[in-house]
Amino acid sequence: MVSRYAYLRGIIYSWPGMNARSTVRPLVATLIVAAALAAVVGGLLAVVDVRAAGGGTSQSLAIVPPAPRPTVGPGGTPAPPDRWLVGKATKNVVVHTAPDAVSPVKATLGKIRPSGSPMLVLVHGVRQKGGVTWFDVWVAIPPNESRGWVEQGSLSFYTVTTKIVIDLSQRSLTVYQSGKELGSFPVAIGTAQYPTPTGFFFIVEKLIPTTPGGPYGVLAMGTSAFQPKLSFWPEGGIVGIHGTDQPNLIGQAVSHGCIRLRNADVQKVGDWVRTGSPVVIQK
C-alpha cells in the first residue's frame, strides 16, 4: 500500500516547496437539499483516508450523513461550518460551469490522481434542478480556488471535521477539529519571488516520501493550491504541506510556495487531518 502513495519522480518536482485574508464561503445545505443528499449518498460508502500512521496507509468505511446547515456568525453572516462534505470520484468527473448538462465543461477529472491517490473535490453547495442533484464543488485545477458543478452519479461522499489555517505573517499552521484548536506549529513559507498563495483550498492527497530523510521529510500533503509563477512545472506547481530535511529554516520565507514543518510536527498534522479537509491560507 505504501508504494501506491509513495512519490514518483514527476510528482516530486511538481511541488513548489522543493527548493489578503480570504473570505471563506461555507457549505450551503437547506433541509430540502439535506434530504436529497441523504437519498444520493446514504448507505455504506468507501472512505479513502490516506494517513501516515505507522509509515503506512489505511482505508475505512463510513456511513455518510448529509452535511448540516451552517450556523450564523456575528452580524448575520454565515459562519464556516465545522463539518464539510468531500466527494471522491467513482469514475471520471465532468465539471460544468453551471448546473446544467448542456453548459460548457470546465474540466474532466480522472478517478485517480497521477500519484495513485483518489481524486477528491470539496463541496461548497448543492442544488436541485429538473429533479437532478448538482454539487457546487471546489476542484484542484488552476486557477486557484476554482469551482464548478458536478452532476450526481460520479461521486461518493464522506464528511470531515478538521481544518487547517495557515497564517503567513505569523508563519504558523493551526489545526482545528469541530471548531476547536488541536495545535499550532511554526512553518517555513514561500519567498517574495514565489510566495505561498492565499485563499481557500483543501487537502487533495497524502504522500509518503520514499526517502524520509529527503527534502519532504516523513510526509507530504498535496493541496488544491498552485504557485502561479510555476505553472510550467509538472502538474502546474502544486503547493504542498510537508516535512523537511532543513529544520533550521523553519520560520523563514525560503520555499517555492510550499509550507514546510518539522518532521515531528507534520506527522502530528497528518495524523489529525483527514484528506479532503479545508486549508485556509491567509496573510
Which amino acids are annotated catalytic? 242, 258
Chain length of the chain: 283
**16-to-103, 145, 201, 241 alpha-carbon distances in Å:** 34, 18, 16, 10
The gap from C-alpha 257 to its chain's centroid, in whole angstroms, comes to 16
Q: What's the sign of the alpha-carbon dihedral 101, 102, 107, 112?
A: positive
> Which cell numbers in the block locate residue 160?
470531515
515531528: which residue's cell?
264
- Look at strands 253-255 and 180-186 and give their pairing: unpaired
Q: Phi-psi bin for 222: left (phi > 0), alpha (psi -120 to 50), beta?
A: beta
Q: What DSSP designation does 144 have?
A: T
**169-to-23, 196, 207, 252 alpha-carbon distances in Å:** 17, 11, 27, 11
Q: Which element (helix H / strand E) includes 203?
A: strand 199-207
Q: What distance in Å separates the CA atoms of residue 281 and residue 214, rounded to the nearest whole number?
A: 25
Candidates 143, 147, 118, 120; CA nearest to 134 is 147
Q: What's the sign of the alpha-carbon dihedral 55, 59, 62, 68?
A: positive
